[in-house]
Every structure is written in structure tokens, then in C-alpha cells.
Structure 1
Amino acid sequence: MRLSIDHQTGFRYDSPVSSSFNEARMTPVTREGQTVWTNRITIEPTAWSFSYVDYWGTTVTTFELHEPHERLTVHAQAVVDTRGDEIAWDTERRSPRNDLGWAALRDPGVIDPMTDFLTVTSRTTPPPELAARAADVAGQAPRLAGLDVCRIVHDHLSYKRGSTTVNSTAADVWDLGTGVCQDYTHVALGALRSIGLPARYVSGYLHPGGDGSGSGTVTGESHSWVEWWCGSWVSYDPTQGQRLTDRYVRVGQGRDYGDVAPLRGTYSGGSSEMFVTVSMTELG
């Protein structure tokens, strides 16, 4: 699928801001299953900026403003070709021969380079009930154990906008029983790591689907999902309860949301209000 993405986000300030320093992680990346044809980030007011790839492999645009402004807008545009995971390993419940087993995953040669993705963070610490349920499904192949962990999370939680905040922890969300994609991802990450599967947070976009005619612009959304490693990275969306299709566009990855926030920064001034819009057009 070829998708055009138009993502605008920023801040409205209740009084003029004299200076601000910011980082944007809003640039899709070319990788297996995804080709980026064009991408552009513009900033209003015009700001000094430069881009780099961070430790986790995400493209970052950092910029600063030193003139009074009451609004900051970051506008990211891209055209991307996507391809979904066409192997029905989840519905057929099968693991490729080159997947690693538990003995290999517990070897220091794997644990040492994967430490970042095995460490449970404050956002992802699983509650005892979830850790116990994850342990119950860990007696099978690692890929399938990861799948069942994600299904436990999907079945336990209900999607409800506004029920959590950006600072909600996995334990908070599990007890509440509701959340958004960021929450599903944090809950799944903690459970996956608790059974010894290296796992990371992936950020991007999700096209809501349509009639396939390739016409019309729809309201898309920023989205997140998980990947766990068992010899290769396995992607799965615990919010939707499915492996990835061609409606997913990848932007970045890290340990949790703190590593991939689309826009973050500091400024000198009063209170602010954030705004976000995402529009997606299927081009073919």
C-alpha cells in the first residue's frame, strides 16, 4: 500500500514564549517491509534545526526558537510504501526453524546485548497477576509465548480514550482495565520482559482502513505496538490483536514511550496546550 501521511502537532501557549528547545520523532524510516519515497518536516515559526539518528535507531529532528511565539507547529509529511506480515504464523501458531529457543535466549551472549530491552522500566513493570499469567504461557516456543502474552493483554483491556494519561503505568492500566495503544504496549512490554523475551516499543501510524479504492483522505492516528526478539524481531499489535498489515507505518522504537515521543521539549513561559492531527491518504 502507498500512503501519504500529513501529521501536524505542536503547542499553543497562553502567553508569548521567549525561547524553546524541542525534539521531533516524526520521520518514517526505510526498512524491511517499508520504503519511504519522500519526507519533509517544517516548523512554524521557522527554526534552526538539524537531524540525527538516535541510539535506538529513530530519526530525530532537533530545533530551537529564540523569538517570541504564541504557537509552535511541527508539520511532518511523507509518502511511504508498506507491506504487511504475510506469513500467518499467529493464526497457524507455528515458529520458523530459525527461531531461538529458551536456552539460547538465556545465554549471556544474547542477554548482554539485549539488556536494554529486558530491563523493566517504571512505565512497564507488570502487576503480579499479569506476571503470573505470562509465566503460565511461557512453557511453549518463545514466539508463541509472546503471542499469547499479547493476547492476554488484548483480552483484559478495553480501548477507551481519555481513561489514562501519558504518565500512566502498566500496573495502573491493568488495574483500571482500559487504556489506549500506548497503554496496551506498555502492559505487553512488561509481561514479555518478565518471561525473558527482549521486547521494544514501536511508534508509528495506523491507517483505519477503507474500501481500497485509493481515494479520499481519512483521519489516521499515531499508534504503537510491540516487537519481541527470538532470533529476529517479531511484530504484533496488542491493541488490535493482530500481526502487522500494510496499514501500519513505522517511525521509531525504544524501551517505552519515553524514547519515542513524537514531540518533546522545554520552553520559557506560561502554560501550554498540545494539539495533534494526523491525515492519511491511500495512493494505491
Structure 2
Amino acid sequence: MLLNIEHQTQYVFSEMVQYTIQQLRLTPRNGYRQAVKHWQIKVNGQLTPFEDAFGNLSHTLVIDQPHEALLITVSGAVETGVETEPPEQALPAEIYLRDTPLTQADAAMAEFARPFANAPLTDLMHALRERMQYIKGATQVDTPAAQAFRLGKGVCQDHAHAFIGCCRSLGLPARYVSGYLFTVDGSLMQTHAWVDIWQQGHWLGLDVSNGTLVNETHVRLAHGLDYRSASPVTGSRIGGGIEGMASVVSVNQQARQANPQEQARLLQQAQSAQQ
């Protein structure tokens, strides 16, 4: 499946920003049954490419001129469901047994996972999906897995963190994956998250929020121990006052023409987020 992707992230600031530095994990790589046909990042700043500790294709963005807004646009085409050579492992799988504050399983999560120790991973996935309803706004980006599990609700990030915590409690290396998801109706206009589990000498991808194995509708950007180490954009700035941010993702089987009205709406959403 050939997927055309456009992802825009708009920041606005109430005061002038003197300096911005960000790490962008916004470049897919070949492998994991995907082949990148073309890809580009557009931003008004200096980009320096590098490969991070987890093997993700990344860029450091530096803007050392005063600015009151920042727009990051990535676009390209990725063919999925193809035979590819698996990428070289940047780290041993055992690294992904390491807990983080966002994925740490508490006693309730460990007890929940224990009956699935010898069951197919899909059984644990479906049970967790029933235990945690998909509800937007119930959690934040820094909500720990144990808290979301107690609430019994969250979004794809929370499902991924909770599933990772459950799997690690069973001794299974698990990692967080960020990327894009194609839906026929275009209902998902944001980045998506799922999980890789190491078993029998390879990584198995599971999309907990949708209750499926990872397939040709998924495009992988980056992976790490949790959201923080695989987030598409992280960074810091000097100055800026109150920040507003909005993003929109388009994943289609046909190429799209740029629409100036969409950018205007994105700017308005970022400005509204400042309130």
C-alpha cells in the first residue's frame, strides 16, 4: 500500500522566542515492512541529521533568530506491506525490559498481566483494551501507565504504556512505537502509537487501541522505552511566554494538493490553545 503523508505542527508564542532547540523524530526509515519513497522536512531553521541511541533517524533543529511562531511540515510517501531487510538492532532487546516512570507496572497491573503469562499476546492486548476504554481528554502526555490503568481510560499513548508495563512485568522486552495510521475515512488526524514485543527472536507489533496486529496501514517513525524517547518532537526554548500548539496529520492513498485554508485553520487552533 502506497501511503502519502503530510504532518504539520504549528507553535505560536505570546512573546518573542530568542532561541529554540528541538529533536525531531519525524523521518521513517526502511525496514519493518515499509520502504520510504521520498521524504522531506520543511522548517525555518537549521537541521542536523543524526541517528539516536535507539536507531531512529532524527534531526536536531536550531533556531537562533528571534521568532514568534514555528511551523514544522513533514511530507512524503511510504510503501507498506513490502518485504524488507530488518534494520540492524541498535541495542540488545533486553534494554527494553527497563522500566520508566511512564511505563512502570504497579501491583494491580502485574496482577492483571499474570494470568496471560503463557497465553498469546493478543489475549492480553484484547483484555487490556476492554479494561481501558479509548477516551480523549482523560489523561495527559505525562500520565503514568499505572494511573491510566486505574482510571480505566486513555488514548493510544496510554494503551501503549500500560501494555508495555504489563509485558515487562512478565519478563517480555517491550518498546513504544510512534508513527502514522491510515484509516479509510480519514478519522485519525494525529500521530499514532503502538507497541513492539520481543519474542522468539523477532519484534511483534501490536496496536492495542485498535486491537490488531501492526499491518500495512501503519507507518513507523520511531521507537524507544516510552513516549518521551520516541516522541516526534521534543525540545526547549528561551523566552516565548505562553505557548500554543496544534498539529494535523493527513495519510492518504492519493497525493494531496496543498491547501492554504488548512494552514490558516492550524494557526487558529494553535492560537486558541494559548488560552
Q: Report the TM-score range of the alignment, normalised by the length of the smaller protein.
A: 0.7 to 0.9
The answer to whether 1:278 aligns with 2:253 is: no
* Offset, 1:147: 2.4
Q: What secondary structure does 1:227 align onto?
A: strand
Q: What secondary structure does 1:64 align onto?
A: strand
The whole-number CA distance in structure 2 between the counterparts of 1:49 and 1:113 is 29
**In the superposition, relative to structure 1, how do residues 218 and 165 fare at CA in structure 2: closer, same or farther (>3 Å)?**
closer
The structure 2 residue matched to 1:229, chosen from 173, 195, 198, is 198
TM-score, structure 2 normalization: 0.85
Question: How many positions carry a matched residue from both structures?
Answer: 246
The structure 2 residue matched to 1:174, chosen from 122, 127, 149, is 149
| Structure 2 letter corresponding to 1:122 | P
| Structure 2 letter corresponding to 1:153 | L
| Structure 2 letter corresponding to 1:32 | Y
The structure 2 residue matched to 1:65, chosen from 63, 66, 69, is 63
The structure 2 residue matched to 1:120, chosen from 78, 99, 104, is 99
Q: What secondary structure does 1:18 align onto?
A: strand
The whole-number CA distance in structure 2 between the counterparts of 1:137 and 1:30 is 33
Cα RMSD for the two superposed structures:
1.9
* Offset, 1:261: 1.1
* Offset, 1:64: 0.8
Q: 1:158 corresponds to which residue?
A: 133
Q: 1:47 corresponds to which residue?
A: 45
Long gaps (5+) in structure 2 = 84-90, 256-275
Long gaps (5+) in structure 1 = 86-111, 211-216
**In the superposition, relative to structure 1, how do residues 160 and 219 fare at CA in structure 2: closer, same or farther (>3 Å)?**
closer
| Structure 1 letter corresponding to 2:135 | K
**In the superposition, relative to structure 1, how do residues 59 and 10 fare at CA in structure 2: closer, same or farther (>3 Å)?**
farther
The whole-number CA distance in structure 2 between the counterparts of 1:246 and 1:282 is 12
The whole-number CA distance in structure 2 between the counterparts of 1:121 and 1:187 is 12
| Structure 1 letter corresponding to 2:145 | A
* Offset, 1:33: 1.1
* Offset, 1:148: 2.3
**In the superposition, relative to structure 1, how do residues 234 and 208 fare at CA in structure 2: closer, same or farther (>3 Å)?**
same
Q: 1:38 corresponds to which residue?
A: 38
The percent of aligned pairs where both chains have the same amino acid is: 32
Structure 1 residues 173-192: aligned runs within 5 Å? 173-192=148-167
Structure 1 residues 198-217: aligned runs within 5 Å? 198-210=173-185
